Each structure stands twice: as structure tokens, then as C-alpha cells.
Chains A and B, each alone.
Chain A
Amino acid sequence: MLSKRNFITYAIAFVFILLLNFLLPRMMPGDPLTAIYGDEALIAMTPQLKAQLVERFALDQPLWQQFGAYFLALFQGQLGHSYYFNASVLSVILGRLPWTLLLVGTSLVLSTMLGIILGIESGWRRGSKTDRAMLAGLMSLNGFPDFFLGMLLLIAFGVTWGIFPLAGALTPYSGLSGLALLFDVLRHLFLPVAALTLAHLAGSYLLTRNTMITVLKEPYMLTARAKGLSQRVLKYRHAGRNSMLPVVTQTGIWTGRVVTGALFVELVFAYPGVGYLTYEALLARDYPIIQGVFLMVAISVLVANFLIDLSYPKLDPRVSYAY
């Protein structure tokens, strides 16, 4: 069940993202054309093109009409034209998106699952040596920025030992197909995924462990124990399942973090996803791409959060009573 409160929250967030994207280039000092279309556009600029560009976003009109034109263009799925890549922003981003989805999806699943399992095990043994070692280890790992972890992995496994490729998502011009292609993709994926997973493992681990500790004090755990259930059932079915719930609510926020983490990790491994694209666009000051990426990432994170909010009461019936 979707509450009105939730809906308003997402509406505000959505409007903020649109307004930011719309106002920022228009508030910059200097020619708004540069700020909207990027440095590269100026090189190709003719009076004719200029008139066309001004017309497109109604730049000679008052601000609210400009917003109308902007919103209309967005609604039609037009994110603009990148003069650096000489293609429409949407097609450039969509071309890179699969790699990022692959990277983010794999890392998100791996880090959440590993985090939950480690959290359950660690919380179950709370206070023991294993628990302390795991806690200190994972909290330290949490302190490593994802791009630093990535660089360390790159230097160790790529440069020094040469086990994994240094950059890219595929071996160029290899003409591989079938299983060999799949293997090649996985080989390129391994280090970036490892960096992202390790960097984001601690979040779900700490949360699961914390909940696990509180859950273990619940009276129903005592009852379950008194019934003579096995340790495994106690640990995973009674305590573990209930400890997972807060992790689910956080997944939306983590999706955001892993996506932005991917921006940095892709840069390190020159992995041709949306993050590396952002980096290229930043270097070339190709603002249409930066804006397009911002819009897509911000809105997908919002949608992810929204879907999780929707599914949460199904997972934990207590939530729907609470409202």
C-alpha cells in the first residue's frame, strides 16, 4: 500500500531533480548555450544552428516557458544532442547502460547476500573472537574508497600478476563468440565487481548484525529454543529472516551508492559503462551528457527506492498496521 506521504516525498524529489537539471545551466554566468550544449557545440556553431538551438529550448522566452519547452522535450524522451560524441544523448547513454547494469547488478546482489550471511553469522556469535575480527575487518574495509580498492586490485591482479585484463569490458577485435565471449566478458568483469562488492559489503553486514543482536533478545527466540529447534533453524529461519528486513529497506539507498560507486570504479578500469562516460563528458565539458546521466541515474535510484517502499509492507506485515 502506498501512502500519500510517500507519494509526496517522491514527487518533491522528482521535481527537485528536474529543477536542478533545468536551472543549473541557465544560472551560469556567460552564454547559456555553452552551458546547455557544451564546449564542443561552440566549435560547430553557425548562426543558423544557433538560432535553431535557441528556438529548441525557447531560450529567448521567459523562464517558465523555457521550463515548459524543457519538460516537453523530456517527456518526448529527448535528452538532447551530444556534440562531442555527435549522437543523441539518449543513444550514447543507452549504448553504455548494459555494462553498468551488469556491473552494478552483480555487485549489488553479491554484496547484499554476502553481507547478510556474514551479518547473521557474526551476530549469532556476538562478542566472540570471530565476531570481533569480522567486525573490525569489515569496518576497516568500509573505510577504503571504492576507487582505491579498485586501483589496488588493478595493480595487484592486473599489472603485477597479469591474471586479469587491465581495462575495458571486452578484448577488442578478438572476434570471440559463444562461450569464449562469455568467458571474456566475465574475465573483464571480475575486478570491477570485486572492488564494488568489497567496498559495499560492510553496509548490509553491519545492519544485519545489528538487527540480529536485537532480534536474538526477542522472547520468540527463547520460545523457539525451548521447542528444541536446531541451531541452524534458529539462526536462519527465526533470527536471520527477521534480521533481513531492515536490509531490504536500505537496498534502495544502497542502489544509489553502488551506482555512484560504479562511476568511480569504471573510471579506474576504463570500463565502458555510464560512469566512464560521465568521466569522458566531464573532461570534454560535454554538458548534455552529464545532464542526461544525472537525470537517468537520479531517477532510476528514485524508482528503485519507490519500488522497495511498495514491497516493504508485503515483507513485513507489521509495517502496514503501523500507518
Chain B
Amino acid sequence: MHIDLKKEIKESGPGKTGLFILLLMVAMALLAPVIAPYNPYQQSTASLLPPSLSHWLGTNHVGQDIWSRLVFGARTSLLVGFGVGILSTLLGTIFGVSAALVGGFYEKVLMRIVDAFIVIPMVIVVILISAYIRPSILTLILLLSLLSWQGGARIMRAQALSLKERGNVTAAKSFGASRFYIAWRHVVPDLGPILLVDFIYGVRRAVFMEAGLAFLGISDPTVVSWGMMMRDALSFSYLNVWQWWLVPTGVALSLTIIGLTFVGHAAEPVIEPRLRGVEIA
């Protein structure tokens, strides 16, 4: 497993492109108040204006500045994405590594639950729950994390199973190290690259889901999001406003997901080393 993740991403064309796109989006989200000329929630009578110097992407049906909403929408998308990415990777590591190290009945029960969650279609579960609770951003992050750590846990467990047979673990055990110490000092650090791949795919899933829920109209209606903007734009598809309303929003969302896909794919040899040596542009 001695594959250098940084090198792997740097040597891949799409990997670099993906990283660049992601950094751009993150910068947009962080600097939103600086970049956006208007308050994204402020309504005005100037509705459905075409693009102009004062409104780069025109205004929407209630007179909000579309460019400002687009910029602030990046915050929602990335907040949910990174929030879920971090939490679900954390949960996956805790359950995956503990299953491998504790073993026995605990491992059996845990892995059956993990398998069960993998066959359940997550999107429809999230839609059902959201239909009832109309989640806020924080609830959505928790909900998506709870439903999406299972895939990672499986990979982490497999990896931890092989790591725990290594010499350094045996040595630590013979010195009387506790399971927790072994997990923390000897197993988790060696999971490094896998954690990152799991994290990236977690982020991607969450960005997708958040946009989808907002598009269906079951997300927090008080927070601007790309999915919600596309939903609004869809009802005006008979006008030419899609050119500056729908398309830029959809492109921003797609670019974010493409960026994540590229980085994830470039890093994938970490999980499947046999793919290495295949130059993928």
C-alpha cells in the first residue's frame, strides 16, 4: 500500500484539472460575501431581468440577483458535501477498524448491518425522511452521514484486517498495547490514502443528494442552493431565461461533481493497485 496519493493525483491530467476546479469552488464559497455584489436573499421589483452590468446573470422571478445566489449556493453545496464527507468517513473508520480489530460477534453483526444498508437505495430513504422532517442544513448533514458511511466501513475493515497482521502491530501487542492504541497509532495512519478516497466520494454523493433534494423542494427553503435555483428556473423554461439562470447554475453544480470525480478517479489506484501503470491521460 505504499502508493503516494499526492503523486498519483499530480501525475494524472484529470486529477490536476479536478483539483483546480475544486479549489476554485472552495474559493468561491469562502469569498462569497466579497464576490457577490448583492445579498442573495434580497428581493426587488426588478424581476426576470436579462444579464446586464449591474446584474451579471440577471435576476430571478422575485428579483433576486442570480449571480449572487449562484456564489452563495456554492457555500450550501460544499458545506453539506464536506460535512457529510468528514462525518461519514469518520463513522466508516470507527466502525470498519473496530470491526476488524474486535472481531467475533461484534464484527459479524456490524458487517451484516453494513451489507443491509448497501443494498437499500439511499436516495429514496432520504426522500422519505426529508418529506417528513424537512431537514435544515445541519440535520441534512447528519442524516446523509448516517446513511452513507457503510460502503467506506467495508473497505476500511478489509484494509485493517490485513494491516493488523503486520509486524508493527504484533510488536505493539507484545508490549501490551491496548486495542485502541493499536487502532490509533498503527492502523488508522496506514489507512491514510483510503480515507481520502472515501472522503472524496462521500463529498460527491452528498453534493448530488443535496442538489436533488432541493430540486424536489424538500430541503431547507430559507437557504439558497443550486438545486433550488434549478427548480425555480425549470418553471420558466418556456422563456429564454434558462440561458443565464438554469445553465450557469447547472454548470456550477456539474463542475463541482466532475472535479470530485476526477480527483477521486485519479486517487483510485490506492484502493485498486492493479489499475496502476495504466496511463489515464
A127 at the interface (CB under 8 A from B): yes
What does the 1/0 interface line of A256-277 toward B look like (CB < 8 Å)?
Answer: 1101100110011000000000
Question: Contact between B215 and A147 (Cβ–Cβ < 8 Å)?
Answer: yes
Q: Whole-angstrom distance between the alpha carbons of A147 and B61 in the complex?
A: 21
Chain A residues with CB under 8 Å of B3's CB are none
Stretch of A69-77, A112-120, A279-287, A311-319 that contacts chain B: A279-287
Question: Contact between A16 and B128 (Cβ–Cβ < 8 Å)?
Answer: no
A135 at the interface (CB under 8 A from B): yes
Q: How many A residues touch B, CB cutoff 8 Å?
A: 63
Chain A residues with CB under 8 Å of B217's CB are 282-283
Chain B residues with CB under 8 Å of A152's CB are 247, 250
Given A148-B250, A287-B131, CB of A305 within 8 Å of CB of B119: yes
- Which residues of B111-130 have CB atoms within 8 Å of chain A's CB atoms? 112-113, 115-121, 123-125, 127-129
Most chain A beta carbons < 10 A, residue from B119, B133, B257, B259: B119
Question: Contact between B128 and A290 (Cβ–Cβ < 8 Å)?
Answer: yes
Q: Whole-angstrom distance between the alpha carbons of A254 and B126 in the complex?
A: 17
Question: Contact between B117 and A13 (Cβ–Cβ < 8 Å)?
Answer: yes
Question: Contact between A147 and B121 (Cβ–Cβ < 8 Å)?
Answer: no
Question: Contact between A282 and B216 (Cβ–Cβ < 8 Å)?
Answer: yes
A-B contact count (CB 8 A): 164
Question: Contact between B237 and A260 (Cβ–Cβ < 8 Å)?
Answer: no
Q: Whole-angstrom distance between the alpha carbons of A127 and B278 in the complex?
A: 6
Chain A residues with CB under 8 Å of B14's CB are 135-136, 139
Chain A residues with CB under 8 Å of B259's CB are 143
- Which residue of chain B lies nearest to A6 when distances are taken between CB atoms in the complex? B115
Given A9-B115, A12-B113, A139-B261, CB of A214 within 8 Å of CB of B216: no
What does the 1/0 interface line of B124-168 toward A look like (CB < 8 Å)?
Answer: 110111011100000000000000000000000000000000000
Question: Contact between B112 and A139 (Cβ–Cβ < 8 Å)?
Answer: no
Q: How many B residues touch A, CB cutoff 8 Å?
A: 54
Q: Which one of A8, A210, A279, A282 lies within 8 Å of B272 (CB-CB)?
A: A210
A241 at the interface (CB under 8 A from B): no
Question: Contact between B112 and A147 (Cβ–Cβ < 8 Å)?
Answer: no
Question: Contact between B124 and A126 (Cβ–Cβ < 8 Å)?
Answer: no
Stretch of A48-56, A98-106, A221-229, A296-304 that contacts chain B: A296-304
Question: Contact between A143 and B258 (Cβ–Cβ < 8 Å)?
Answer: yes
- Which residues of B244-279 have CB atoms within 8 Å of chain A's CB atoms? 246-247, 250, 253-262, 265, 272, 274-275, 278-279
Chain A residues with CB under 8 Å of B132's CB are 24-25, 28, 35, 287
Question: Contact between A143 and B127 (Cβ–Cβ < 8 Å)?
Answer: no
B30 at the interface (CB under 8 A from A): no
> In the complex, what's the smallest C-beta–C-beta distance from A271 to chain B, in angstroms?
14
Question: Contact between B112 and A17 (Cβ–Cβ < 8 Å)?
Answer: no
Question: Contact between A263 and B112 (Cβ–Cβ < 8 Å)?
Answer: no
Q: Whole-angstrom distance between the alpha carbons of A105 and B98 in the complex?
A: 41
Given A12-B113, A145-B211, CB of A136 within 8 Å of CB of B253: no
What does the 1/0 interface line of B225-236 toward A look like (CB < 8 Å)?
Answer: 000001001100
> Can you name 11 A-B residue pairings with CB atoms under 8 Å?
A8-B112, A17-B120, A17-B125, A20-B129, A28-B132, A136-B281, A142-B261, A143-B256, A143-B257, A257-B121, A290-B128
Which B residues lie at the A interface, using CB under 8 A? 13-14, 112-113, 115-121, 123-125, 127-129, 131-133, 208, 211-212, 215-218, 230, 233-234, 237-238, 242, 246-247, 250, 253-262, 265, 272, 274-275, 278-281
